[in-house]
Amino acid sequence: MTARAPAAAPPAEATTGRDAILRAARRAFTQRPYAEVTIRGVAADAGVSASLVVKHFGRKEELFNTVADFGPAADELFDAPPDRLGRHMVLTLVHRRRERQTDPLLRVVFSLGNHDERSLLRDRFQAQVTGRLAALLPGPDADLRAELIAGQLLGLGATLSLHRTGAGALATPEHLADLYAPALQKLVTG
């Protein structure tokens, strides 16, 4: 008798609506000022009812918090000792992208397309990613090095998304880490 593996994910139907809402919410909160985003607009973009959005995610503030939360991604990306952090970050980013068909950080970049002076999404990123990373780094210039490391992670995600059928899409995570991680490690070590 063979033990069956537990289901890895909820049934397709349930995730489709949820995922469509999340994608629509990401588009909305990254491309428009917070004040202009409505549950109704997100629902229309996702092709579902407003009440389904509220059922899954709550009101606008909770929906924003779900979309804007970089905490879980940072937990995974930064979960290694400093002397191995560079390689760990590259492998984690690539694995997460491939498994979940979405980049853990890149959505913050879309918020640069709208020309608000401030953006709640960018504030979250700065606190949960760059600020947290700076606190982990030994040595001088920690703030600047954290910004540059964040840039390298965003750049890796950006180029893999831009060249969706390119050389990066065909490369193994280990090969990508061989080429890309030494630079990150150098910025970590200082």
Q: Which residues bind a copy of itself (CB under 8 A)?
A: 23, 27, 30-31, 106, 108-110, 112-113, 115, 122, 125-126, 130, 141, 143-148, 150-163, 166-168, 171, 175-176, 179-180, 182-184, 186-187
Task: Give min distance, CB of 182 to a copy of itself, in A.
Answer: 7
CA distances to 103, 171, 175 from 165, rounded to whole Å, are 16, 11, 17
Q: Which is nearer to a copy of itself, 55 or 179 (CB)?
A: 179
For a copy of itself, the closer of residues 43 and 176 by Cβ is 176
By beta-carbon proximity to a copy of itself, the closer residue of 66 and 161 is 161
Q: Which is nearer to a copy of itself, 58 or 143 (CB)?
A: 143
**Alpha-carbon torsion 126, 131, 137, 140, what sign?**
positive
What are the residue ranges of helices labelled H in the chain? 12-31, 39-46, 50-57, 60-68, 71-77, 85-100, 107-110, 120-125, 132-136, 142-162, 167-170, 173-189
Do the beta carbons of residue 121 and residue 29 sit within 8 Å?
yes
39 vs 108 by CB, closer to a copy of itself: 108
Residue 141 and residue 132 in contact, taking contact as beta carbons nearer than 8 Å: no
Report in angstroms how near the CB of residue 61 gets to a copy of itself at its nearest: 22
Gap between the Cα atoms of 118 and 141, Å rounded: 25
Whole-number minimum distance, CB 92 to a copy of itself, in Å? 16
Nearer to a copy of itself, 58 or 116 (CB): 116
The answer to whether 93 and 153 have CB atoms below 8 angstroms apart is yes
- Least distance from a copy of itself to the Cβ atom of residue 158, Å: 5
Q: Least distance in Å: CB of 7 to a copy of itself?
A: 28
Q: How far is the CB of 121 from a copy of itself (least distance, A)?
A: 10
**What is the SS3 assignment for 16-44?**
HHHHHHHHHHHHHHHHCCHHHCCHHHHHH
